[in-house]
């Protein structure tokens, strides 16, 4: 069962929402950075932005690798690799920036809230 982690930048808190596999089909093919309707994560009226995720093996998604491929790429830093020395590069296993059926965890952040009802 896929899990969505929704972060709220205003409060600094996050919540975990598990969704059914049938609702996961609306997320397949989405890319990191896309803004979606919050009703996917039981947050109607909210807008959430996909910021990353990982697959069932814990392999992270990287925003600069296109597609849903999993492969070994030479990295010099960023998601999936933190070099110990300046200029160090290594081959690491990472996923592309597109959500696939193998994706287990997806990270989102809230970018817009529903309009509040103000009293006159």
Determine the Cα–Cα distance for residues 28 and 104; give it in Å rounded to an integer. 11
Q: What percent of the chain has pLDDT over 70?
A: 97
Whether pLDDT at 120 is above 70: no
Query: With the C-alpha atoms ordered 17, 79, 74, 63, is the resulting torsion angle positive or negative?
Result: positive
Range of the domain at 70: 3-112
Residues 19 and 40: beta-carbon distance below 8 Å: yes
Domain total for the chain?
1
1-10, 63-72, 96-105, 110-119, range with the lowest pLDDT = 110-119
**pLDDT by residue (tens digit) across 31-42?**
999 999 999 988
Distance of CA 30 to the CA centre of its chain: 10
Instruction: Give the residue among 37, 8, 33 at the shortest CA–CA distance from 23.
Output: 37
- The b/e string for 55-87 (b: 16+ C-beta within 10 A; e otherwise) is beeebbbbeebeebebeebebeeebbbeeeeee
Averaged over 63-92, what is the pLDDT? 93
Residue 101 lies in a domain: yes
Residue 108 lies in a domain: yes
Q: What is the DSSP letter of 77?
A: S
Residue 83 lies in a domain: yes
Residues 63 and 113: beta-carbon distance below 8 Å: no
Residue 117 lies in a domain: no
Residue 118 lies in a domain: no
Whether pLDDT at 1 is above 90: no
pTM, two decimals, is 0.87
Residue 40 lies in a domain: yes
Residue 119 lies in a domain: no
Name the CA dihedral angle for 18, 53, 44, 7, rounded to a multiple of 10 degrees.
100
Residue 45 lies in a domain: yes
Predicted confidence at residue 117, as pLDDT, reads 66
Mean model confidence pLDDT for the chain: 92
Whether pLDDT at 23 is above 90: no
């Amino acid at each position: 069962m896929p899990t969505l982690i929704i972060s709220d930048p205003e409060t600094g808190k996050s919540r975990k929402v598990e969704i059914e596999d049938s609702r996961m089909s609306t997320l397949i093919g989405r890319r990191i950075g896309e803004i979606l309707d919050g009703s996917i994560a039981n947050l109607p009226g909210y807008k959430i932005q996909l910021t990353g995720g990982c697959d069932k093996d814990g392999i992270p998604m990287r925003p600069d690798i296109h597609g849903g491929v999993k492969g070994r790429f030479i990295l010099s830093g960023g998601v999936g690799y933190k070099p110990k020395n300046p200029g160090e590069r290594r081959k690491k296993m990472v996923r592309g920036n597109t959500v696939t059926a193998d994706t287990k965890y997806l990270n989102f952040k809230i970018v817009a809230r529903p309009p509040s009802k103000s009293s006159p």
